[in-house]
């Protein structure tokens, strides 16, 4: 598909006006504008890939004019970049570096930082020197999908000549940094009339006297390649074999368990991101998929996110047991270790091995599976994986996919600048753990979500009220998952866990929290109302817990179930029988389950809370109950031994404490500010 040119004169003019009046302000506004235009199209740049720059003039503290290079800073994404993401670096000291024969990456980063105009700016891109050495005012560098296909062909130069004639020149593959910058500048200087560079096995550079000219060339060049590639694409539609839904679910759960349990694993657990598009399934069905799985990645910096190779699983692997899947993962791990040892030896510098576990799994018939420490990481992996399979498929159809080879991949994966970051961040307590919270839109549900989110968990909020779920999400975080369903429906457990498995590959903690109070005296208690209360306050908990336990067993991940009980389970309040009866049954269920689930490593605990301001105990009810006791609202809420109101976050913190208590099961924790009548014995 062709790329649109999204330049708009009006928007350009408005941005300039808003930016200020100096030449520097205008240049930077133009630079931000077209960087965003490029960055918003995933097939032009993907996840922090690509970078842009402009050369301009500003004045220093003495009022002297200084030439600067404003270049993308690390940590910024082109799609959302602002002026602060394009730090200004003194140009002259950068240009002097070209005289050097050698420059280490560390020295390069240091010189770039030392010449920032604002010392609090982010690090300028590792491709800064390439931008500096090319003489043009505006420069755009992309890793677009069509250019990656071209860059990885067996003879990219011949194809480039066919498409562009003398307009572009090719730079042989060199790792990004000083050497690449020098080589690219040399290639440019030998044919200064060119409009751009094809970086073999890497990407595209183009430039212009102004932002528009450079941007127009990005689009025009990329479309030329796209048109050329289209003639080679096979248009066949294949019937792809896929497993039964239930087999697929169980496979994902076992696979996630296997990744956690493979031998020697000391890393945090993982979550999946599963891509099942037609393109992905058709790609995995190709005859040459096994060859492509060993081919490498389409642009070297992808190796940092997705590793050099995916783990390829065949259709028959889907039926395999967890232990058999562990063997397949261990075979991958052992191949990875050999790759590390082979390449580390030839690199001559001591290196620390990164996690040998696969980051990307190609599961035939199922899809592309990103394996991340968080849902966000997993989805970045599958975004890159999708771009990679497009490049591989197009490349294979147009002559071949020949990316950088092992040692070059290794040099990028084990780049000293990357190695320096290893081991600096410790995973959060719940990182990689998927937590399903029912009654998620309520006050307590939301508080639980917030507390678990802070320690790195992936959150799924389940509630029957869609509007309230959306409102909860806007309060907590856009990164939580919402599932709108009534937990009393017989199909609820299957639907919830099916959905969660598709999204994350499984889950680890069920917080069964949904409930509602029914008030009536014993004498007038209607059996129908009591049965309804049992449906929500006991049977829904029971069904979800039973289904969750079966999944925990299947995935072999140490799971947990936490119930929100109530002090009503042990300390009856007048006219609350219809609520207390199912809750006391639930209280018993915790003990029964703890007894029967412990051997499978599944812990079952609960929280007894009282007098929490929530949907269940709303302002009106607080007023009524306070009045009945002849006290004001605040004294009613603080009517406990500590004389302090108990809030939803206190309850949520108790859930987290139980979730982290690795040797506790069958326990119910009271959170009521102290009440001797309700204390457990």
Q: How many whole angstroms separate alpha carbon 326 and alpha carbon 127?
A: 40
Closest separation in Å from C-beta 171 to Zn ion:
11
Between β-strands 271-275 and 367-372, what pairing exists: parallel, antiparallel or unpaired? antiparallel
Question: For the purposes of burial, counting CB atoms within 10 Å of the CB of 642, is it exposed (0-12), middle (13-18) or buried (19 or more)?
Answer: exposed
- If the CB atoms of residues 152 and 473 are measured against Zn ion, the closer one turns out to be 152
Size (the chain), residues: 681
Q: How many CB atoms lie within 10 A of CB 138?
A: 26
- If the CB atoms of residues 203 and 515 are measured against Zn ion, the closer one turns out to be 203
User: Helices marked H in 399-476 — which ranges?
Assistant: 406-413, 416-419, 443-454, 466-476
Q: How many whole angstroms separate alpha carbon 360 and alpha carbon 428?
A: 22
Residue 623's contacts (CB-CB under 8 Å, 6 or more residues apart) are 633
- If the CB atoms of residues 124 and 203 are measured against Zn ion, the closer one turns out to be 203
Between β-strands 458-463 and 481-484, what pairing exists: parallel, antiparallel or unpaired? parallel
Closest separation in Å from C-beta 78 to Zn ion:
12
- If the CB atoms of residues 203 and 572 are measured against Zn ion, the closer one turns out to be 203
- If the CB atoms of residues 47 and 603 are measured against Zn ion, the closer one turns out to be 47
Closest separation in Å from C-beta 144 to Zn ion:
11
Closest separation in Å from C-beta 200 to Zn ion:
12
Q: Using CB under 5 A, which residues numbered 185 to 204 contact Zn ion? A: 203
Closest C-alpha to 554, from 256, 242, 327 = 256
Q: Which two tokens stand for residue 458?
A: 């992936």
User: Helices marked H in 525-576 — which ranges?
Assistant: 527-534, 540-555
Q: How many whole angstroms separate alpha carbon 531 and alpha carbon 539?
A: 10
DSSP letter for 478, please. Answer: T
- If the CB atoms of residues 123 and 276 are measured against Zn ion, the closer one turns out to be 123
Contact track, Zn ion, 197-236, x by CB under 5 A: ------x---------------------------------
Q: How many whole angstroms separate alpha carbon 142 and alpha carbon 3?
A: 13
Closest separation in Å from C-beta 602 to Zn ion:
47
With tokens 């600096």, the residue in question is: 424
- If the CB atoms of residues 203 and 310 are measured against Zn ion, the closer one turns out to be 203
Closest separation in Å from C-beta 169 to Zn ion:
17
- If the CB atoms of residues 35 and 533 are measured against Zn ion, the closer one turns out to be 35
Q: Where are the beta strands (DSSP E) in 37-159?
A: 51-59, 65-71, 88-90, 138-142
- CB closest to Zn ion, residue no: 203
- If the CB atoms of residues 132 and 281 are measured against Zn ion, the closer one turns out to be 132
**Is the Cβ–Cβ distance between 608 and 567 less than 8 Å?**
yes
Closest separation in Å from C-beta 155 to Zn ion:
21
Closest separation in Å from C-beta 52 to Zn ion:
11
Closest separation in Å from C-beta 131 to Zn ion:
11
Closest separation in Å from C-beta 295 to Zn ion:
19
**Is the Cβ–Cβ distance between 322 and 328 less than 8 Å?**
no
Q: Using CB under 5 A, which residues numbered 77 to 116 contact Zn ion? A: none
Closest C-alpha to 438, from 482, 491, 375 = 482
- If the CB atoms of residues 302 and 503 are measured against Zn ion, the closer one turns out to be 302
**Is the Cβ–Cβ distance between 510 and 439 less than 8 Å?**
no
Instruction: Summarize as ranges the residues that interact with Zn ion (CB under 5 A).
Output: 203
């Amino acid at each position: 598909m062709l790329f649109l040119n999204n330049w708009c004169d009006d928007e350009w003019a408005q941005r300039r006006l808003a930016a200020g009046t100096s030449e520097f302000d205008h240049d930077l506004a133009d630079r931000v504008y077209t960087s965003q235009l490029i960055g918003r199209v995933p097939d032009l740049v993907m996840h922090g890939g690509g970078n842009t720059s402009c050369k301009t003039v500003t004045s220093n503290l003495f009022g002297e004019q200084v030439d600067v290079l404003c270049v993308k800073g690390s940590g910024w994404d082109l799609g959302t970049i602002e002026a602060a993401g394009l730090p200004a670096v003194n140009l002259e000291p950068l240009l002097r570096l070209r005289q050097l024969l050698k420059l280490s990456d560390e020295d390069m980063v240091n010189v770039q930082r030392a010449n920032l105009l604002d010392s609090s700016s982010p690090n300028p891109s590792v491709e800064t020197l390439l931008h500096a050495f090319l003489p043009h005012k505006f420069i755009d560098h992309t890793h677009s999908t069509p250019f990656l296909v071209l860059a990885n062909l067996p003879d990219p130069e011949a194809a480039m000549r066919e498409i562009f004639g003398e307009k572009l020149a090719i730079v042989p593959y060199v790792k990004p940094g000083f050497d690449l910058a020098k080589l690219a500048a040399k290639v440019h200087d030998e044919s200064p009339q060119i409009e751009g560079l094809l970086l073999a096995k890497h990407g595209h550079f183009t430039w212009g006297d102004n932002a528009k000219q450079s941007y127009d060339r990005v689009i025009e060049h990329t479309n030329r390649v796209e048109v050329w590639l289209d003639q080679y694409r096979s248009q066949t539609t294949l019937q792809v074999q896929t497993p039964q839904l239930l087999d697929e679910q169980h496979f994902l759960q076992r696979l996630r368990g296997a990744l956690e349990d493979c031998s020697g694993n000391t890393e945090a657990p993982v979550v999946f991101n599963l891509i099942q598009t037609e393109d992905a399934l058709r790609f995995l069905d190709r005859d040459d998929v096994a060859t492509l799985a060993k081919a490498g990645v389409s642009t070297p910096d992808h190796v940092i996110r997705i590793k050099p190779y995916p783990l390829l699983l065949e259709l028959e692997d889907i039926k395999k047991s967890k232990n058999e899947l562990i063997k397949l993962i261990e075979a991958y791990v052992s191949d990875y270790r050999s790759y590390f040892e082979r390449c580390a030896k030839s690199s001559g510098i001591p290196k620390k091995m990164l996690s040998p576990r696969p980051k990307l799994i190609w599961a035939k018939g199922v899809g592309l599976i990103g394996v991340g420490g968080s849902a966000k990481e997993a989805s970045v992996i599958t975004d890159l994986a999708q771009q990679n399979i497009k490049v591989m498929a197009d490349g294979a159809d147009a002559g071949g996919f020949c990316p950088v080879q092992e040692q070059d991949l290794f040099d990028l994966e084990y780049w000293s600048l990357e190695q320096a970051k290893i081991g600096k961040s410790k995973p959060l307590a719940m990182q990689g753990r998927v937590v399903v919270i029912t009654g998620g839109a309520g006050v307590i549900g939301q508080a639980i979500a917030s507390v678990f989110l802070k320690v790195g968990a992936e959150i799924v909020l389940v509630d029957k009220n869609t509007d309230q779920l959306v409102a909860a999400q806007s309060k907590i975080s856009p990164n939580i998952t919402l599932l709108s369903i009534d937990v009393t429906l017989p199909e609820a457990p299957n639907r919830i866990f099916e959905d969660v498995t598709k999204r994350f590959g499984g889950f680890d903690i069920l917080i069964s929290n949904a409930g509602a109070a029914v008030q009536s005296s014993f004498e007038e208690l209607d059996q129908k109302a009591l049965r309804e209360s049992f449906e929500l306050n006991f049977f829904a908990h029971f069904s979800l817990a039973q289904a969750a336990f079966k999944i925990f067993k299947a995935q072999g991940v140490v799971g947990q179930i936490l119930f929100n009980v109530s002090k009503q389970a042990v300390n009856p309040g007048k006219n609350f029988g219809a609520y207390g009866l199912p809750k006391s049954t639930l209280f018993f269920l915790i003990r029964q389950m703890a007894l029967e689930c412990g051997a499978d490593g599944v812990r079952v605990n609960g929280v007894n809370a009282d007098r929490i301001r929530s949907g269940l105990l709303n302002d009106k009810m607080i007023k009524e109950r306070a009045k009945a006791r002849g006290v004001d609202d605040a004294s009613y809420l603080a009517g406990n031994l500590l004389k302090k109101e108990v809030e939803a976050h206190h309850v949520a913190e108790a859930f987290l404490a139980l979730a982290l208590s690795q040797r506790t099961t069958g326990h119910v924790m009271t959170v009521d500010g102290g009440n001797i009548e309700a204390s457990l014995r």
